[in-house]
Every structure is written in structure tokens, then in C-alpha cells.
Amino acid sequence: MASSSSNLISLKTSDGTVFKVERALAKTMKTVQAIIEEADANIYMIPIHNVFSHHMDMIIDYYKLSVAGKSKEFSVEKLDNDELKDFLLAVHYLNMEDLFEVLTQAVADRLEKKSVGYVRKYFGIENDFTPEEYAAIRKKNDWAFKGDDIEPEEDEEKQEE
């Protein structure tokens, strides 16, 4: 039976799981908070789009760590790059400031040494340069492609220095 006890908010994830969360945690989700504030009567359940139960698990983990002053111990190491992106999109949708900062930094760190090709795929972006334009800008920034730790471009042949 759904209850609307004043301290717990029910959130239903995209995969149908219901989480009852403390009001304080719901407050960190600005999207949810806006829904609550707009409602005249008590809300029984708030659906949260694009948020799956495994995302909620991690959100709750982060919340518990940050309440204990240990937010720096929160780690997304076990997520691969795509899982991390999905998690970020969920947190972005929920509009959760602190966790959003953590995740955008985590994504940035993962992308830092990646190739142009990888980044295009990751962000779902098409190349809108003509081949000539690309060649010109590639050449101009050649220095940014150098370094043993930088991922080489897939379509570029290795050139003799």
C-alpha cells in the first residue's frame, strides 16, 4: 500500500522499481522537488524517466556517503564509459548538483586522452567538417594529438616522424 508518510517519498524508476527515499534525499533532486512542490495534494508516487534502479542504488550510496562527510569515497570506477554516461544522464535529468559535478568530472577524466573518433561516438556527434577543413584543423592542432598516452585516431596511418 502506497503511503505518503511525510518523511518518505516514493520514486518509481524506468524499470518499474519503487524506491521510498528520505525527503532530504529527494530534495537533492531538483526535478523531483519541483514536482512535489507543484502538487496540491500528497503525491503517491513520482515516476523518474531515464533513471533505472541501478542508478538509484548508486544515488543512494552517494547520498549516504555525503551525509557522513565521506563523499570523496564515492567511486564510479567499476562503471565502464557507457554506463557512466547513462548514469550521468540520469543524474542530469534529476538535476542533482553535487553528484552531477562528480560525474561530469569523472566523464571528463575518462575522455581526456581519447581520440577524436572515440569522442564523436561517445557524444553521438557527426563530423561536419569537409575533408579539407578537417585536414586543415587537424594539422593546425597536430601538437594536441602527440603523446604516448594519447589514443591514436583510427583512420590515421602511423606516419614516420
Partner 1 sequence: MNMAVAGEADAITIIADKSQITTVNATTDSDDDKVSSISQMDSDDDKVSGNNKYIHDDLSFYILSKLPIKSLKRFGCVRKSWSILFENPNFMTMFRKHFIISSNNDDDADDSGHTFLLIHHPEMDLYRAQLHLLPRDQSFKNTLKLNLPPPFHDDDVNINILCSTSVNGIFCLNQYYRGGDANKVRFVLWNPATNEFVVLPPSPDESEPRPPDLSSYHSFHGFGYDKVRDDIKVFQYVTLDYYDYNNCPPITFDPMFVIYSLRTNSWRIIDIDMPYWLCSNAYQGFEVYSDGMCHWVAKHHTGEKCLLSFDLSEEVFFITPMDENSDFSHSTRYHLVVLNGSIALISNHVSADTIFQISILGELRVRESWIKLFIIGPIPSFDWRPIGVGKEGYIFFRKKDDELAWVDLSTQIVEEIGVKGEEMNCNIGTYKESLLPIEGLNN
Least distance between partner 1 and beta carbon 16 (Å): 5
As given in the structure block, the three cell numbers for residue 139 are 594539422
Taking the C-alpha atoms of residue 127 and residue 115, their distance in angstroms, rounded to an integer, is 13
Is residue 119 at the binding interface for partner 1, with CB under 8 A as the rule? yes
Find the binder of partner 1 among 30, 49, 70, 97 (CB under 8 A): 49
Q: By rule CB under 8 A, what count of residues binds partner 1?
A: 63
**In which element (H, E) is residue 12 found?**
strand 8-12
Find the binder of partner 1 among 14, 27, 65, 71 (CB under 8 A): 14
Is residue 54 at the binding interface for partner 1, with CB under 8 A as the rule? no
Number of other residues whose CB lies within 10 A of the CB of residue 106: 19
Whether residue 21 contacts residue 8, with contact meaning beta carbons closer than 8 Å, is answered with yes
Find the binder of partner 1 among 73, 75, 97, 141 (CB under 8 A): 141
Go through the chain and tell me how many residues it has: 161
Number of other residues whose CB lies within 10 A of the CB of residue 104: 13
3-class state of residue 112 by DSSP: coil
Residues of this chain that interact with partner 1 (CB under 8 A) are: 1-3, 8, 10, 14-22, 25, 35, 38-39, 41, 43-47, 49-50, 53, 60, 64, 85, 89, 92-93, 104-105, 107-108, 111-113, 116, 119-129, 133-134, 137-138, 140-141, 143-145, 147, 150
